[in-house]
C-alpha cells in the first residue's frame, strides 16, 4: 500500500524489517526448544539469539542468486552470527512454510489487535453520535424518495450495531488465524517433534494447528479477509449516507471543512465530501482482496505456492487500508456537521405525504375496506404530488366526497413527527449499552 494511506503502526507490522525480526524470533524459539530437548548443542542458542536480523537489502541481494527468500534470509542471518558455525542448527527439521505461516500468524494477530482497537473507537463514536441525535427528526427515505418521518440517531444506531457485529467477526477471525504450524516437510513431523510446535505456539501466545500439510489451509485467512471486507463496507455505508446528505438539494449533513481548505481548483464555492468519497473508493480495494485470497484455499496436494504471491500483496494491503478506513471514518463521524433545521425543513417538503401510512390505517379504522381506503388516500396523495396542495387538504376533500368522516384531532396526533422519537426510545437504551 502506498504511503498516502499507510498509518505508522500498521505499516510497521507489515514492514520487511519487522518480518525479518519475526523470522528470527520464530527460528530462535524452535532452536531453543530443540536445545532444551537435547537435540542440538545448547551452546549454539546464545550466538543465534544475539545475532541481529539481516537487512532487507542484504536478503534481497542473496535472493537474486538463490531465488528463494527463506534461504536468502537464513544465509544473511548466518553472516550476522558469531561464530557462524552456530547457524548450522537454525531451521533444524523445519521447512520454509513452517517459518512463513507461523510468522504470518503473528503478523495477522498483531494487525488484528490494532484494528480491534480502532473498531472499539469506531463503535463508541457511532454510539455517542446516535445518542446525541436521538431526538433529531428527519425524513426517512426509501429508494431515495421521502417515506416516513425518522430520527437521525436511529439511522446512526443501525450503523453502530453493524460496526459492533463487524468487530465480533474480527475477534473470532483473530482466533482462527493465530495458528502455529511447525511440522516439517509435508506436515508429518518426520524430522521435528510435535512438542516443538506446541512450545513455540505457547511462547507466541498462539495455538498449534489442529492439522497442517506443508501449509496451513487458507480457510481461516479467508475468513479474516472477509471480516476486513465487511468492516470496510460498513465504513462505506457511513460515507454513502454523508455523500447523499451533503448534496445541495438535501444539505442535511456535511463533512467538516477546515480553515484554508479548498474544495475545487476551478469553483471556489465548492465544499465536496472528499473524505466520504475516499472511503468509498478504498472500500473497493479491501473487497477486491476477498476472492484472490479465498482462491488460495485449494492448493495442489500437500502444498504449492500459488497462494503466496497473492497474500504478499493482498494481506498487507487489506490490513493497512482497513486501518486507514477506520481512522478516516471515525474522524468523519466525530466531526460530522448535522443541520438539524434543514432536516426539519426537508420533512415538510412534500406537504404531509410522509404520513400516508398512518392516515391509511386511520381511514381503515373509520370503517372502509383496505382497498377503498388505499384508493382514497392514494388519490389524495397523487393530487398533492401533482398540484402542491397540502395533503391534509386533499384528504379532507376526497374523504368528504366519499362520505368518510375524519377525526381531525386524531389526524393531528398521528401526523405529529415527535411521536416517532417517542416510539424509538427503547432502541436508544440498547444503543447506550454498546461498548
Q: Which residues are catalytic?
A: 143, 264
C-alpha dihedral, 425 to 427 to 428 to 433, nearest 10°:
140
281 closest CA partner among 250, 312, 235, 332: 235
Grid cell in block for residue 220: 481461516
- Give, in order, the Cα–Cα distances in Å from 269 to each of 249, 276, 292, 323, 381: 15, 19, 43, 32, 37
Give kind and range of the element (H or E) at residue 137: strand 137-142
Residue 178: CB partners within 8 Å, gap ≥ 6? 105, 108, 109, 205, 206, 207
Rounded distance, CA 355 to CA 341, Å?
20
CA atoms in the 13 A half-sphere facing the CB of 55: 3
Residue 341 neighbours by CB distance under 10 Å: 8
Residue 175 neighbours by CB distance under 10 Å: 13
Give kind and range of the element (H or E) at residue 350: none
Rounded distance, CA 178 to CA 200, Å?
12
C-alpha dihedral, 152 to 156 to 158 to 160, nearest 10°:
-160
Rounded distance, CA 196 to CA 32, Å?
9
Amino acid at each position: 500500500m502506498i504511503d498516502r494511506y499507510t498509518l505508522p503502526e500498521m505499516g510497521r507490522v507489515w514492514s520487511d524489517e519487522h518480518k525479518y525480526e519475526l523470522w528470527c524470533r520464530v527460528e530462535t524459539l524452535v532452536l531453543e526448544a530443540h536445545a532444551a530437548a537435547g537435540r542440538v548443542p545448547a551452546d549454539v542458542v546464545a550466538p543465534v539469539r544475539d545475532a541481529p536480523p539481516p537487512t532487507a537489502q542484504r536478503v534481497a541481494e542473496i535472493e537474486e542468486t538463490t531465488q528463494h527468500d527463506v534461504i536468502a534470509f537464513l544465509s544473511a542471518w548466518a553472516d550476522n552470527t558469531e561464530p557462524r558455525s552456530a547457524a548450522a542448527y537454525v531451521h533444524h527439521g523445519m521447512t520454509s512454510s513452517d517459518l512463513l505461516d507461523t510468522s504470518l500468524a503473528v503478523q495477522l494477530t498483531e494487525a488484528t489487535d490494532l484494528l480491534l482497537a480502532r473498531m472499539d473507537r469506531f463503535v463508541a463514536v457511532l454510539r455517542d453520535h446516535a445518542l446525541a441525535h436521538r431526538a433529531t427528526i428527519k425524513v426517512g427515505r426509501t429508494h431515495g424518495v421521502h417515506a416516513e418521518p425518522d430520527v437521525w440517531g436511529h439511522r446512526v444506531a443501525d450503523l453502530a450495531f453493524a460496526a459492533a457485529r463487524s468487530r465480533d467477526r474480527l475477534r473470532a477471525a483473530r482466533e482462527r488465524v493465530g495458528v502455529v504450524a511447525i511440522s516439517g516437510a509435508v506436515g508429518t513431523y518426520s524430522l521435528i517433534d510435535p512438542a516443538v510446535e506446541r512450545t513455540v505456539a505457547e511462547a507466541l501466545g498462539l495455538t498449534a494447528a489442529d492439522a497442517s500439510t506443508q501449509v496451513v489451509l487458507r480457510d481461516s485467512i479467508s475468513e479474516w479477509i472477509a471480516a476486513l471486507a465487511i468492516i470496510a463496507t460498513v465504513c462505506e455505508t457511513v460515507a454513502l449516507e454523508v455523500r447523499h446528505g451533503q448534496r445541495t438539494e438535501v444539505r442535511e449533513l456535511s463533512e467538516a471543512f477546515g480553515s484554508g481548505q479548498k474544495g475545487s481548483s476551478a469553483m471556489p464555492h465548492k465544499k465536496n465530501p472528499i473524505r466520504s468519497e475516499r472511503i468509498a473508493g478504498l472500500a473497493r480495494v479491501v473487497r477486491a482482496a476477498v476472492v484472490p485470497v479465498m482462491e488460495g484455499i485449494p492448493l495442489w496436494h500437500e502444498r504449492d505456492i500459488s497462494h503466496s504471491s497473492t497474500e504478499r500483496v493482498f494481506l498487507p494491503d487489506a490490513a493497512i487500508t482497513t486501518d486507514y478506513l477506520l481512522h478516516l471514518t471515525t474522524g468523519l463521524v466525530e466531526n460530522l456537521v448535522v443541520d438539524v433545521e434543514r432536516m426539519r425543513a426537508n420533512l415538510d417538503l412534500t406537504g404531509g405525504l410522509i404520513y400516508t401510512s398512518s392516515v391509511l390505517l386511520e381511514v381503515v379504522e373509520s370503517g372502509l375496506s383496505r382497498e377503498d381506503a388505499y384508493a382514497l388516500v392514494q388519490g389524495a396523495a397523487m393530487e398533492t404530488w401533482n398540484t402542491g396542495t397540502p395533503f391534509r387538504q386533499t384528504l379532507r376533500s376526497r374523504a368528504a366526497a366519499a362520505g368518510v368522516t375524519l377525526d381531525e384531532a386524531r389526524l393531528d396526533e398521528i401526523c405529529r413527527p415527535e411521536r416517532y422519537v417517542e416510539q424509538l426510545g427503547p432502541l436508544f437504551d440498547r444503543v447506550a449499552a454498546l461498548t
